[in-house]
Amino acid sequence: MNVLLVGGGGREHAIAWKLRQSKKMARLYIAPGNPGTAKIGTNVDISDTDLDGIVQFARNQQIDFAVIGPEDPLSAGLVDRLAAAGIRAFGPSKEAAQLEADKSFAKHIMRANSIPTAESRVFSDYEDAKAYIASRDEPVVIKASGLAKGKGVFVCEDPADGILAAEKIMVNRIFGSAGGKIIVEDKLLGQEVSILAFVDGRNIYVMESAQDHKPIGEGDTGPNTGGMGAYSPAPIVTDALMDQIIREILVPTVDGMNRNDTPYKGVLYAGLMITQGGPRVLEYNARFGDPETQPILMRMKGDLLEVMEAVCDGRLSEVEIQWDQRPAVCVVMASGGYPDAYEKGKKISGLDEAARMKDVMVFQAGTAYKDGHLVTAGGRALNVTAIGDTIAQAKARAYEAVDQIHFDGAYYRRDIADKALR
């Protein structure tokens, strides 16, 4: 099969690495890809938001199957465009991708189907939002309703800070059009976990659990990022809790999307808070998470391409996925200053040394070639991922690999997976 993977981040490097292992693979193209994916397939100089260019390329190269990685092309309707061109594509339709692209839509689905989540209100007028937040005397969470690269959430202990957050989003438009509406939620207490599942519109196949680390600072301090690291599995997700998550959240979500005439196919990602009262939905993503994908796919056995085909064809019930029982830990190496302003073009060294380590993969994200050297080109540059017999061993191996890699201003958290160890 000729396969086109759309995207260019660390998630896409991990997906490309796993797809390349398929016996069904003939040619693998990645648009736009990165220096890491260039070693696995053929990078194509087309932006992941250039829908016309992607569809034309798929036609010209006789692509049999497309895999859409990021949220932007999904929410813009790339799956629908490819389907209209007669090309099967893995990912939800534009209508179904609203589950991530529009948090107010997601809240509607949750309310209509009694899916446990935080109490919330949706506002499209700043003055109304300001008056409501000012009336609160408990911590609030302010969220941009649209896509904000994982950074559109402000946890505010003081309602006054909530008003400032609402102003940044709705008035200053720091996230652009994503801030046309905001969600004001009650703050939930507990541990966050990421539950990803393959969904074919009817059947659900839950992957191994994971836990992301969103804040920039150790001890979960500082502003949110796209994710500073992840590990899989998350010990807090016991078999009993997973059964509850499937019963109370995943099944009602898939059923609710069908009743809403927006059937869901692809990866359904539920970001959850495990509270004393049980699991609560924080958000949905309509695709593989980043950086959760990296440790999850390191542990996945078998043919990812076959699973994705089964999703598209509505025969997920015929698939069985095996998992490496050993845990995996992913540490994100970021550019100094991220998630705020940061410099690009810092020369990266030590990747070959890290790659020679047993059970280690370095997935490239924000990287590029300049004057023959690999350099930083984004906020999150590298995803250093390792497997070990225990979480502690996987963590130690990942950080041993991190210590092999160097670039000016490199920043990473040293406490990834500590929650699991505790």
What is residue 104's predicted lDDT score, i.e. its pLDDT?
93
Identify the CATH number of the domain defined by range 328-421.
Answer: 3.90.600.10
What is residue 422's predicted lDDT score, i.e. its pLDDT?
85
Please choose, from the candidates 281, 257, 384, 373, the residue with its C-alpha nearest in 3D space to the C-alpha of residue 332. 384
Residue 112: how many other CB atoms lie within 10 Å? 12
State both tokens at 79: 């799956």
| Domains 191-318 and 328-421 fall in the same CATH topology | no
**CA–CA gap between residue 122 and residue 84 (Å, rounded):** 34
CA distances from 74 to 11, 49, 68, 241 (A): 15, 9, 7, 30
Domain boundaries, the chain: 2-94, 125-180, 191-318, 328-421
CA distances from 389 to 36, 192, 395 (A): 27, 24, 10
Exposure of 42 in the CB half-sphere (CA atoms within 13 A): 11
**CA–CA gap between residue 64 and residue 107 (Å, rounded):** 36
What is residue 126's predicted lDDT score, i.e. its pLDDT?
95
188 neighbors 280 (Cβ within 8 angstroms): yes
200 DSSP β-pair partners: 265
362 neighbors 388 (Cβ within 8 angstroms): no
92 neighbors 31 (Cβ within 8 angstroms): no
* Domain 191-318 fold: D-amino Acid Aminotransferase; Chain A, domain 1 (3.30.470)
Q: How do the pLDDT tens digits run along the chain, 422 residues long? A: 999 999 999 999 999 999 999 999 999 999 999 999 999 999 999 999 999 999 999 999 999 999 999 999 999 999 999 999 999 999 999 999 999 999 999 999 999 999 999 999 999 999 999 999 999 999 999 999 999 887 889 999 999 999 999 999 999 999 999 999 999 999 999 999 999 999 999 999 999 999 999 999 999 999 889 999 999 999 999 999 999 999 999 999 999 999 999 999 999 999 999 999 999 999 999 999 999 999 999 999 999 999 999 999 999 999 999 999 999 999 999 999 999 999 999 999 999 999 999 999 999 999 999 999 999 999 999 999 999 999 999 999 999 999 999 999 999 999 999 999 98
**Parallel, antiparallel, or unpaired: how do β-strands 360-364 and 191-200 relate?**
unpaired
Residues 6+ apart with CB under 8 A from 83: 89
What is residue 149's predicted lDDT score, i.e. its pLDDT?
80
Domain 125-180 annotated CATH 1.10.287: no
**Parallel, antiparallel, or unpaired: how do β-strands 140-144 and 182-186 relate?**
antiparallel
Please choose, from the candidates 116, 124, 121, the residue with its C-alpha nearest in 3D space to the C-alpha of residue 140. 121
CA distances from 35 to 25, 51, 197, 225, 275 (A): 20, 22, 29, 23, 41
Identify the CATH number of the domain defined by range 2-94.
Answer: 3.40.50.20
What is residue 224's predicted lDDT score, i.e. its pLDDT?
87
